Chain A
């Protein structure tokens, strides 16, 4: 992508993707609130921006298609057309086509489909508006966007308007024209009074004033010309583009002499002469009668206006955001990871040497690298809104398809999460929501007969909890049928016949591959693929999925995810000569265990922590580490899914900024190790996936009692 043109096109694509999702969101809102003018305005602006930038980068078919859409919404905006479900539906389809066009190499036309949509949209136009030009575009006023200084980008114009002497007699008040110009943008007007004669010579009904105007507008030259349309034959109108709002030229603006010279108000000789006197040029020119004050005023105002505008643009640009490819942020995060590792080595070295000076430096570097780490993580955080708004469309389309009525409620859309997590979260969320609509929410009639409102509700919520984000998808549908799942699971051999299994564990079975209780296989779900993939995806993000359900009342699926994937706060522990890291977010406390005080009941290791029975795992056993353990060992107590479990280690070293490195494929099968990290001395510590290890322990039939509720 070294070709600058291609880079620009890529930037356009990214911007257009964002605009398209904004467009989608606004359309869905508009469907519910058809009278909302703000939404119509937002939709129109999104289309307009896509069209405008598309034209700049040569996406002609996108421009042409968006132009048609824009024209339709212009009619909506002008209240000549009503917002209907059909209009929203077709526009949503059009949005999808635009998305496809963007994805194709040259924004290639999908020809027929786009034509079909515009034809159907045309069908929605009231008869009076149905005037299509021959090339298939919608009729009406066309914005001829294009060369610099025209509609779209704000530009500054210098206008001299010298009305005909008879303008008053012809019934035109120049004030109205000035006001019309002012309505186009930011305008300064200076009346020129040098042609006004003394009263005894004046014709009171003649117009002697003429005007210099400086106008900054994004409406283009034609809009300015339109103001003068009825007086252009009898008046002198001179319009010049003097500033295109070009950021390259933020270095102030022309000098007064230059402006006056450019406008022909003075000659270069007069300018030279005045300059040689080393005083304020304006004063000199006026005093010497070279120009009337009005001309200098106009030049001064022009200078001030353009300088202010340029400053505004510069400030706005500085305050706004910049677009960076996420790959660069990934690279930066990687580098900071390396830096954190280096810093750990430095700290270790400083401790070894016992030099106060070096220790101070090491502490400084540690502080900085921590701050850097937090900053880069923050930069990578984006609101979960993007994932959620995708679901609005899923709900709308699928409920329509299945004849169900579903309301989607969203809470906490502003909750932020690492960008890469958001991307990977999209599909699992879609799966869950599709399942809720297909299996959960009943048909309207069915719901009414059960005394439920016709319309089902799916509630999406996101919230931060510590270093995690919790996302809940709740529906008020029919809930999970425990008996059906149990039966199906037995049939598939997932659980032994007649086994007593807790409800909670039965729910977890819906995540088992190949299990579907759906009587029929629809195109939506029922094939038994989906929920197992959801679980795998979420677990690959070091997250968990929990499910709660009540028959007839609904289902509640909770996803818990870490805020970030690259660096975590870990607790560094030691067994023999080996180091391990346990994610700090899971650690509740550390307690000492004296050898001999340990009790084992039926081979199960349990500790008594202030009266509470906590099972623990002897890490030395698990990892087969030889040697004699110290007399006093430590149990790191963790909590997950409402269960407490301990990990017996030799020594707890302390907190550690853990840069996660993936392990090679050889270790892929061991799911209770989530990765490794490099320590300050260059050695490797394995990162324990505590939850998976606990689960593995459970499978080894070690009973972990659930923490008492409350």
Chain B
């Protein structure tokens, strides 16, 4: 069972997740994200309390970001706990930050995980 909370205030919605976010819960995760995007214009994903993040989850966050961008909405991640930054590094996604601003729309991944020393 996916542990999450959905808080909406005006145009914004905060989706908080906790516990294990992985392939086993990916179908449910997609459903929650879809609901979030359809219900607000600014979607903030809070991962502060997650213990595990895997590749399938990262991929789906990327996918959600694309959908939000395509429909003129914003989607961001508000906190970067260690399991999340580790997963980004492991997946080879850390190079996406710290680049030219014009690429930013492609990039969900925060600058703070993109330090070269941490990337490798």
A173 and B54 form a contact (CB under 8 A): yes
Q: Is B37 an interface residue (CB 8 A)?
A: yes
Residue A189 is within 8 A (CB to CB) of chain B in the complex: yes
The answer to whether B66 touches A198, judged by C-beta atoms less than 8 angstroms apart, is: yes
The reply to whether the CB of B52 lies closer than 8 angstroms to some CB of chain A is: no
Do A175 and B55 contact each other (CB < 8 Å), given the known contacts A191-B93, A286-B102, A293-B103? yes
The answer to whether B59 touches A208, judged by C-beta atoms less than 8 angstroms apart, is yes
Note all chain A residues with C-beta closer than 8 A to B33: 199
Q: How far is the CA of A548 from the CA of B29 in the complex (A)?
A: 88
Which single member of B55, B62, B64, B102 contacts A283 (CB below 8 Å)? B102
A249 to chain B, nearest CB (A): 24
B-facing residues in A196-220 (Cβ within 8 Å): 196-200, 202, 204-205, 207-209, 211, 213
How many interface residues does A have (CB within 8 Å)? 36
Residues in B with CB closer than 8 Å to A213 are: 92
Q: Mark A176-187, 1 if CB is under 8 A from B, else 0.
A: 001100000011
Partner of B66, one of A197, A211, A287: A197
Q: For the complex formed, measure the closest distance between the CB of B66 and the CB atoms of chain A, giving whole angstroms.
A: 5
Which residues of A lie under 8 Å from residue B27 when comparing CB positions? 204-205
**Which residues from chain A contact B102 at a C-beta distance below 8 Å?**
283, 286-287
* A174, CB-defined interface residue at 8 Å: yes
CB pair A199 B64 closer than 8 Å: yes
In the bound assembly, the distance between CA atoms of A175 and B22 in angstroms comes to 13
Q: Which residue of A lies closest to B22 (CB)?
A: A173
A199, B91: Cβ atoms under 8 Å?
A: no
* Most A CB within 10 A of own CB, among B60, B62, B63, B92: B92
Chain A nearest CB from B60 CB (Å) reads 6
Chain B contacts with A in 62-120, Cβ cutoff 8 A:
62-64, 66-67, 70, 90-93, 95-96, 99-100, 102-103, 106-107, 119-120
Contact status A297-B91, CB under 8 Å:
no
Task: Judge whether B30 is part of the interface by a CB distance below 8 angstroms.
Answer: yes
Main secondary structure on chain A at its contact with chain B? mixed
Bound-complex Cα distance A287 to B29 (A) = 32
> Which residue of the partner chain A has the closest CB to B103?
A293
B23 contacts A168, C-beta separation under 8 Å: yes
- Selected contact of A197 from candidates B26, B63, B106, B120, CB within 8 Å: B63
Write out the residue numbers on chain B whose beta carbons fall within 8 Å of the beta carbon of A179: 90
Please state if B37 and A199 are interface contacts (CB–CB under 8 Å). yes
A591 at the interface (CB under 8 A from B): no
Contact with A297, one of B34, B56, B99, B120 (Cβ below 8 angstroms): B99
Interface residues of B in 17-50 (CB under 8 A from A): 23, 26-27, 29-30, 33-34, 37
Q: Select B59's contact among A173, A207, A282, A292, beta carbons within 8 Å.
A: A207
Q: Which of A190, A200, A207 contacts B67 (CB 8 A)?
A: A200
Task: Report the bound CA distance from A196 to B66 in whole Å.
Answer: 8
A287 to B106, CA, bound (A): 11
Do residues B56 and A168 form an inter-chain contact, with CB atoms below 8 A? yes
- CB of B95 within 8 A of CB of A204, answer no
Contact assessment for A174 and B55 in the assembled complex, using a CB-CB cutoff below 8 Å: yes
For B64, list chain A residues within 8 Å (CB): 199
User: Does A188 touch B at the CB level, under 8 Å?
Assistant: yes
Shortest Cβ-Cβ A-B pairs, 5 listed: A189-B92, A198-B67, A199-B67, A191-B92, A204-B30
A-to-B contact residues, CB < 8 Å: 168, 173-175, 178-179, 186-191, 193, 196-200, 202, 204-205, 207-209, 211, 213, 280, 282-283, 286-287, 292-294, 297, 301
Can you list 20 residue pairs at the A/B interface with Cβ under 8 Å? Answer: A168-B55, A174-B55, A175-B55, A188-B95, A189-B92, A190-B95, A196-B59, A196-B63, A199-B34, A199-B64, A202-B30, A204-B29, A204-B30, A204-B56, A205-B23, A209-B91, A211-B92, A213-B92, A283-B100, A301-B95
**Additional pairs, 17, CB under 8 Å, beyond known A209-B58, A286-B100, A286-B103:** A168-B23, A173-B55, A175-B90, A178-B90, A188-B119, A188-B120, A191-B92, A191-B93, A193-B62, A198-B67, A198-B70, A202-B63, A205-B56, A282-B100, A293-B96, A293-B107, A294-B96
